[in-house]
Amino acid sequence: MTRQRINIHQIAKLTALAIVLNMFEFFLPSPIYGVKPGIANIIILFAFVKFNFQSAVYISLIRVFVSSLLLGTFLTPSFFLSLFGAFISLLFLYFCKFLSKNFFSLFSFSILSALGHIIGQFIIVRIFIIPDNGIFYLLPIFLLFGFIFSLINAYVLTKVITSSN
């Protein structure tokens, strides 16, 4: 696996793809409100693995802003949830940078960033939106779904990368 230099065109292309996946995910029906597969994370992980951490940060943050503008949720609580989730997710990805590539693959990165996203959202919900400890009863449900979907995402991305090589 070789890391390539990334230019602004590639970031723009990948961001557009991430926004499309985010919009698609928005229209997917969900049995539990708030449980989403997080397929836009596939693109961020792709950028992280193929290029570098910096490009993943760009794509993630631009995606959050642009998709909130398109969906009309800019500066609403759901926008801040999404933004802070993305921040913590990127923080977890930053620590993934120091993991050895011989022992850890996409599956680890995907699991850690998905769990980071959920933890970040719960922190902001607990502090600002629902200041009650009862909210943590939902935490294991969301963590379990995030865990399952992150495994599926990692599998899809591994297939994409192996077929593109």
Is residue 4 a contact residue for other proteins (CB under 8 A)? no
Distances (CA, A) of 78 to 16, 67, 127, 129: 21, 12, 14, 10
Closest CA to 127 of 75, 92, 77, 79: 77
Residue with tokens 């597969």: 37
Decide: 71 and 63 in contact? Cβ < 8 Å. Answer: no
Contacts of 23 (CB under 8 A, 6+ apart): 67, 70, 71
Chosen residue from 144, 149, 153, 156 binding other proteins by CB under 8 A: 144
Supply the minimum distance, in Å, between the C-beta of residue 84 and other proteins: 20
Stretch 82-121: interaction string toward other proteins, x if CB under 8 A: -----------------xx-xxxx-xx--xx--x------
Nearer Cβ to other proteins, position 72 or 140? 140
Q: Interface with other proteins by CB under 8 A: which residues? A: 1, 99-100, 102-105, 107-108, 111-112, 115, 130, 132, 134-137, 139-140, 143-144, 147, 158, 161-162, 165
